[in-house]
Amino acid sequence: MLTLSIIIVNWNVKNYLENCIASLYNTVKNISFEIIVVDNNSIDASVEMIKNKFSQVILIENKENIGFAKANNQAIKESKGEFILLLNPDTIVLKDSILKMYNFLKEHKEAGMVGPKIVDQEGRIRYECARNYNTPFTQFCVLTSLYKRFPQSRIFGHYLMSYWDHNDMREVNAITGACMMIRAGILDDIGLLFDEAFFMYGEDVDTCYRTKKKGWKIYFLPTAQIIHFWNKSAEQIPFKTLIEMHKAIEIFFKKQYGMKAVIRHRIMLILVNVCIQLIAPFVYVFCSRTIKSKVKNIFMRSNAVLRWALNLPK
């Protein structure tokens, strides 16, 4: 049996994808593996690049962008590995990281998943790599930026566990779909890896929730590391991405906490963004030129979310 299936879902990030695949072939040693790339109808010659430079990669070409969750499930059905690595295309795998995660799962039979430490291109930790489940309260902390103002607080920093330096191995509630290694056997317990109600965002936390509910453990392994350039596909459609994120939050809330949680989230979303719409124009008038573009962007993003939350036409 093949040891590892590496699955990458790509949408219009050809250069990042090329570097990602190259990093895999340069660093994954001593285990048999396959790379499956699902391309969600890119128009940037990603498909041609794979065919020309990485002919050994298994390529699945979709005629439309079917989303992150569905595309990963599509590849998993074709995979042959005892273990599965989900990896974003805008990442670089560092030396021995894949082998470390593989060895960890081999040694810890109770572990259903393991995730690495994820840093950005400046070497700063991305706390999303090991976190708690989102709740209406943690979402309130995000919407009001309390989690940024008080990162060391175990109350306000609960979701991302920003009070923890993420330098030690431990069991966690959730890791990120940007890089997670999965024991293929857990699929016998949880069914489809990702709930396809999620288009993008939220599906990883939902899967972690379902995995833990079935008795499997999830671990964070900081000795394995990757660099993540973060949201390079998503930033091409920033307003749609933001709305998809809030849709995903409400799907998760409805599944795990019920409709009351969805309603609370929607009310919070409306109130916070109404405040932004009222305050931002005054800030824009009186702020320095250096931050006017930032204030304008905040206003526009807030306006898009508010219109969605109120079900208003664009």
Give, for all 314 residues of the chain, the pLDDT tens digit: 799 999 999 999 999 999 999 999 999 999 999 999 999 999 999 999 999 999 999 999 999 999 999 999 999 999 999 999 999 999 999 999 999 999 999 999 999 999 999 999 999 999 999 999 999 999 999 999 999 999 999 999 999 999 999 999 999 999 999 999 999 999 999 998 999 999 988 999 999 999 999 999 999 999 999 999 975 554 565 678 889 999 999 999 999 999 999 999 999 999 999 999 999 998 998 888 889 989 998 999 999 999 999 986 65
For residue 87, being part of any structural domain is answered with: yes
Contact 73, 62 (CB under 8 A): no
The full 3-state SS of 280-310, as one line of letters, equals HHHHHHHCCHHHHHHHHHHHHHHHHHHHHHC
**174 and 36 within one domain:** yes
For residue 120, being part of any structural domain is answered with: yes
Per-residue pLDDT, 287:
87
**26 and 70 within one domain:** yes
Per-residue pLDDT, 235:
58
CATH number at residue 108: 3.90.550.10
Beta bridge partners of 217: 111
**195 and 109 within one domain:** yes
Per-residue pLDDT, 140:
93
Per-residue pLDDT, 21:
98
**196 and 84 within one domain:** yes
The boundaries of the domain holding residue 218 are 4-130+166-234
Contact 244, 199 (CB under 8 A): yes
Query: What is the C-alpha to C-alpha distance for residues 7 and 185, in angstroms, rounded to an integer?
Result: 16
Beta bridge partners of 35: 6
**63 and 183 within one domain:** yes
Whole-Å CA distances, 178 to 6, 34, 134, 195: 12, 18, 17, 16
List the one residue out of 91, 89, 112 whose CA is nearest residue 101: 112
Strand pairing of 179-183 and 111-119? antiparallel
Q: What is the model's pTM?
A: 0.92
The domain tally of the chain equals 2
For residue 246, being part of any structural domain is answered with: no
**121 and 89 within one domain:** yes
Q: Tell me the Cα Rg of the chain.
A: 20
**34 and 78 within one domain:** yes
For residue 119, being part of any structural domain is answered with: yes
Q: Three-class SS of residue 4?
A: strand
For residue 88, being part of any structural domain is answered with: yes
Per-residue pLDDT, 288:
87
Q: Taking the CB of residue 260, how many other CB atoms lie within 10 A of it? A: 11
**184 and 57 within one domain:** yes
For residue 152, being part of any structural domain is answered with: no
Per-residue pLDDT, 239:
76
**198 and 281 within one domain:** no
**88 and 179 within one domain:** yes
**88 and 198 within one domain:** yes
For residue 55, being part of any structural domain is answered with: yes
Contact 227, 94 (CB under 8 A): yes
For residue 215, being part of any structural domain is answered with: yes
**48 and 175 within one domain:** yes
Per-residue pLDDT, 176:
96
